[in-house]
């Protein structure tokens, strides 16, 4: 009789990867590694030097529960309670959109614009801050900046504030509950306004993966029939709240890029800059400047 092979780190990862793949999980190996590292209480990279290690029963039990929840349709970020964004661990809950890698381009572009300024100080608004990922990442990289993180959801703002405190930047971020800039009285003008608004069209929403469509807040996804229900009033408000020469950066989906570009061109007080594409060549960040 052949003795069963021990359940080592390597074997657990292989089995779980196959199990997830059979169930149509989009990134089965990555998800298996994230969950096992979380159960083990170690960085994911530490798994690569521990393939022959046999985890104890408690670790295996924790891992089994995490795998069960992931296979049941819960996003990995909800299962472990965080998602890495711009090399920072951001806490997430079902109240906020899970930070995506493509949104890092919004941060990179803003940081580039800050470097182009003669003075490092800048006053920035992050509209629809959600988990606070963009505001926190910018605050970490731009110590002279002060930010106002805005969201209409008090539950989302609570998550954003926790992330700011976790990463030591809460003293430079003000949190305001507001629908766009409606309730933001101070400051009157911003050097930059950034936003990752809901931009998925209502038709596109139905085709999203169930774990996105059904598990993440619809408020942060649904941009209406043309994807610009929030973006259109955002442009109008931003035009009146940017300092002369100030910049507006908005993450968008490729399918609505031309529509948003036309809206910018039609908004008094705004001049459009070239749209920025992501690494896949898709239009991802539209940019406008407040005319003097």
pLDDT of residue 1: 42
| Average pLDDT in the chain | 94
User: Has 132 been labeled as part of a binding site?
Assistant: yes
User: Has 95 been labeled as part of a binding site?
Assistant: no
- The answer on pLDDT for 218 being more than 50 is yes
User: Has 197 been labeled as part of a binding site?
Assistant: yes
Mean pLDDT along residues 210-222: 86
User: Can you tell me whether residue 42 is helix, strand or coil?
Assistant: coil
- The answer on pLDDT for 108 being more than 50 is yes
SS3 readout for 211-227? HHHCCCCHHHCECCCCC
User: Has 128 been labeled as part of a binding site?
Assistant: yes
Beta partners for residue 273, in sequence order = 287
Q: Please state the CATH superfamily assignment of the domain spanning residues 86-290 in this structure.
A: Vaccinia Virus protein VP39 (3.40.50.150)
Contact 227, 256 (CB under 8 A): yes
Model pLDDT for residues 180-199, shown as the tens digit of each residue = 999 999 888 999 999 999 99
For the chain, percent of residues with pLDDT exceeding 90: 84
> How many residues would you count in the chain?
292
Residue 274 pLDDT class (50, 70, 90 cuts): very high
Residue 292 pLDDT class (50, 70, 90 cuts): low
Angle, helices 9-22/28-40, rounded to nearest 10 degrees: 140
User: Has 196 been labeled as part of a binding site?
Assistant: yes
- The conformation of residue 247, written as its DSSP 8-state character, comes to E
pLDDT of residue 205: 87
Query: Given the structure tokens 């021990």, which residue do they identify?
Result: 6
Model pLDDT for residues 111-138, shown as the tens digit of each residue = 999 999 888 789 999 999 999 999 999 9
Residue 13 pLDDT class (50, 70, 90 cuts): very high
Beta partners for residue 82, in sequence order = 91
pTM for the full model?
Answer: 0.91
Distance CA 152, CA 177 (A): 5
User: Has 240 been labeled as part of a binding site?
Assistant: no
Mean pLDDT along residues 46-51: 93
User: Has 163 been labeled as part of a binding site?
Assistant: no
């Amino acid at each position: 009789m052949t003795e069963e092979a021990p359940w080592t780190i390597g074997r657990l990862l292989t089995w779980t990867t196959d199990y997830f793949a059979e169930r149509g999980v989009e990134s089965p190996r990555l998800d298996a590694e994230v969950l096992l590292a979380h159960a083990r209480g170690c960085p994911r990279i530490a798994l690569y030097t521990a393939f022959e290690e046999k985890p104890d029963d408690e670790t295996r039990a924790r891992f089994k529960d995490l795998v069960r929840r992931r296979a049941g349709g819960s996003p990995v970020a909800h299962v472990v309670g965080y998602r890495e964004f711009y090399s920072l661990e951001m806490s997430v809950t079902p109240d906020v959109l899970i930070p995506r890698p493509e949104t890092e381009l919004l941060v990179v572009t803003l940081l580039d614009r800050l470097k182009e300024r003669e003075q490092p100080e800048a006053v920035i608004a992050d509209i629809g801050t959600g988990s606070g990922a963009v505001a926190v990442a910018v605050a970490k990289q731009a110590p002279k900046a002060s930010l106002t993180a805005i969201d209409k959801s008090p539950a989302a703002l609570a998550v954003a504030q926790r992330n700011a405190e976790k990463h030591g930047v809460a003293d430079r971020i003000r949190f305001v509950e507001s629908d766009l800039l409606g309730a933001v009285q101070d400051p009157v003008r911003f050097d930059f306004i950034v936003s990752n608004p809901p931009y998925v069209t209502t038709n596109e929403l139905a085709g999203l993966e169930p774990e996105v469509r059904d598990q993440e807040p619809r408020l942060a996804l649904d941009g209406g029939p043309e994807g610009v229900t929030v973006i259109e009033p955002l442009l109008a408000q931003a035009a009146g709240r940017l300092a002369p020469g100030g910049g507006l950066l908005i993450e968008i989906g490729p399918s609505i890029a031309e529509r948003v570009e036309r809206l910018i061109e039609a908004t008094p007080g705004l001049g459009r800059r070239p749209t920025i594409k992501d690494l896949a060549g898709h239009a991802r960040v539209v940019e406008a400047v407040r005319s003097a």
